[in-house]
Structure 1
Amino acid sequence: MSVLGINEQKHASKPSWSWLRGATGPLIGLIGLCLFLSLATDTFLSTRNGLNILDQITVLGIMSVGMTFVILIGGIDLSVGSVLALSMMVMGWTANVAGLPLGVGIVFGLAASAASGLLVGLMVTMFRVPAFIATLAMMSAARGVANMITDGQQIVGFPDWFMMLAIDRHFGALTATVFLMLVVLVVAWAFLQLRAEGRMLYAVGGNQEVARLAGINVARVTIAVYVCCAMLAGLAGIVLAARLDSVQPSSGFGYELDTIAAVVIGGTSLSGGAGGIGGTLIGVLIIGVLRNGLNLLNVSPFIQQVIIGVVIVLAVGAETVRRKRR
């Protein structure tokens, strides 16, 4: 490997202490978007609408943390939407059909999602199945199992305390689900910046062979990342169930695309080794603010999909140009 290659590898595998690593452009875009919507609508710039946006991004925010880990190691996970539905259905069946306490159902739901991530990790590391194919297979399998649990029927009716997690505003501002999302984001940021295990993700994403020669167990890191991503998707499913006060096997369709979009818009490189939680948060906010603003402007949902697609292309294009300049 050339000296230049070694220097590039060190640069790719060492995380910056700045929480806005690679996300300055998206932050400017978010500020510009907020300014535009503030002028275009009368209700956007209000405390109530701001709190609504936070409520609406909780599921996406939690899922995007796990996806950030996966993309940092140079992987991809297309199964998170289906794993979300699987976790919801396992929780709902355990609590409402089997009659066990809801807390036990939540644990079972998270365990089911973790098992899904473990299977994906083993397929990628032991059987050398490309991550795209492994997670595509899990996307289909998890969705099928979610439907099998109740023969495609939804489950409704949970304890009041569970639904109130997404309704009650503590201190007049944040719900428990929003607080949970913020805790996940802070813990993930601290893990990447302050723990040696977090820095390993950057090393694996920068160059797996160099990481292996440096003494990093690449297979173990990969499996752990996919398990973590799946568990966070399962946790997001629990949050979604609290918001809806019901669970249904069709939940989560298209969430994997939104999650990947949020991470990429936030500046995390699809080739791995560069990015961070700060950028992901900005990407999640861009998608949340954009959808909220387009709804306030009465823009058709179909046109919204086109606009978000254009935003994703622009974000990836900007990341590619930035990489070439380096």
Structure 2
Amino acid sequence: MPWPSPDTPPPSGRWRTRWLRLLLVVVAVVVLAAIGLRGRLPDPQELLTSLTGASAGWVAVAGLLQAGSIAAFAGQQQYLFAALGVRIRRRRVLAITLARTAISISVPAGAAVSAGYAIREYERAGAPKELGAVTAIVSGLASIGGLALIYVTGGAALLGYGTTTSLTWRPLVVVAAIVGLTAGSVLLGRRLFRDTPSVQPAPVHEGRIGRYAQRLLASAREAWRAGAGLRVRDWWAVVAYAAANWLTDLFCLAACTHALGLPVNLPALAGIYLGVQIVRQVPLSPGGIGVIETALVAGLTASGATAITATAAVLLYRLLSCWLLIPLGGAAAVVLRRPARVPTEHDA
């Protein structure tokens, strides 16, 4: 009996199973959030009063900024595939972005799981697996570069105002070292692969582990080759997309603080935000639940906000940047099960 095609719509029973799994994921995230925030929230009645008093206009602006952050990441992915010679419809890239974001913030080791999911979905959309791996690696490096660009720009701006109280240089040294290592790897790859053929014969190793290691090294080599083959302007473009992704997310947080009337200026908020981004790289919980909220509330209260308004602003920000994305990403994953259409010239 032949296996069904991956583009074949699943029976109604499978649809119900997938929706049930999505519901279970949402419930699990809510439970984890409750556990992570237990004992850290003020009186619920006071918190609800603070949230209901939020400015609707600023909340709408925050929602639009978060949508812009997602769109920036999707635009980066589409640009990368176009630079590598693969055209994928914009709506499909956006759906994959939403689905992988939901996975990243809702399961343990979410970053790795979401990257694998994205590679598989891009392969279904017509991109070779090696190019999917390239986009995952390049976008990750560009994310570091975009954050470093914002940090350098913010540090220069603070120096212009004669203060460095909001940003410290120690994280910048770490980020700059990673960026330098990345740039060196790209330049080395361009030099090594300039005149070498794309496929080189390799000895066949005995045993399952040997063959797996050989395939892994071959895939890594091809990914390095494709990434090193990107033009300099392509690297600048993907870093600019990453910076836009970070900035719109930061401005979303700023809009949430304005909605609650917090007395925190943008430079101080940028320092808090960038510090939290460094903390969240340690995967202590899915999506940083509990860790990010605690760090943000601590930073906002240290900058002069009350515990109630700081908590309300953080919960509003996390609702827009994390919790609402889980059902949206689940719905996008369901839509992605439909057969992919070959893009036309009008989809570019």
Q: Same fold (TM over 0.5)?
A: no
Structure 1 length-normalised TM: 0.29
* Greater C-alpha Rg: 2
Structure 2 length-normalised TM: 0.28
